[in-house]
Amino acid sequence: MRVDVCFPASTKIQASSKGLVLEIGLPPDRGGDPEALGPFDLLLCSLALCTGYHVLSFLEERGISLAEAGLCVEAERSADSHLLDTVSVKIRVPADFPQKYSDAIVLAAGHCLVKAQLGQQPDFRMSVVPA
């Protein structure tokens, strides 16, 4: 896996990987646009998409309609550390979703590797290299 980062402007940071380009802005208190995505927005999107994959697979394997299905991830950050304190995942299921699968779909959603990674710190190896 590889992500390359560049700085197209003093208030923009751009990352590219596998042909996809993502851009974030600086925090508003550092001159950035308050509406710009930040790193935690992208982290939560990754968590939501990964969790969504497992929910989708669960529903499809059981022939359950995807029409009303989805999920919502909400997070609260600590005022002191600015790190995530609480992450809430609400899985939306169709009205006719069998109750007997409620615990199982939550368990399936929990298999997201992004979620697992949040609980395990990788070994970071940083270095300085010439351009």
pLDDT digits (tens, 9 = 90+) for 25-38: 888 888 888 888 88
* pTM beyond 0.95: no
Give the SS3 label for residue 90. Answer: strand
Supply the CATH number for residue 103's domain.
Answer: 3.30.300.20
Comparing CA positions, the residue from 128, 106, 7 lying closest to residue 58 is 106
pLDDT digits (tens, 9 = 90+) for 74-110: 999 999 998 999 999 999 999 999 999 999 999 999 9
Residue 16 has pLDDT above 90, yes or no: yes
Residues 23 and 47 in one domain: no
The domain in which residue 106 lies consists of 38-118
Distance, CA of 11 to CA of 25 (rounded, Å): 6
Q: Mean pLDDT, the chain, as a whole number?
A: 94
Going from the C-alpha of 74 to that of each of 20, 71, 84, 86, 110, the distances in angstroms are 25, 10, 10, 8, 15
Residue 46 has pLDDT above 90, yes or no: yes
Number of domains the chain is built from:
2
Alpha helices, DSSP H, located in 1-131: 39-61, 102-109, 113-118
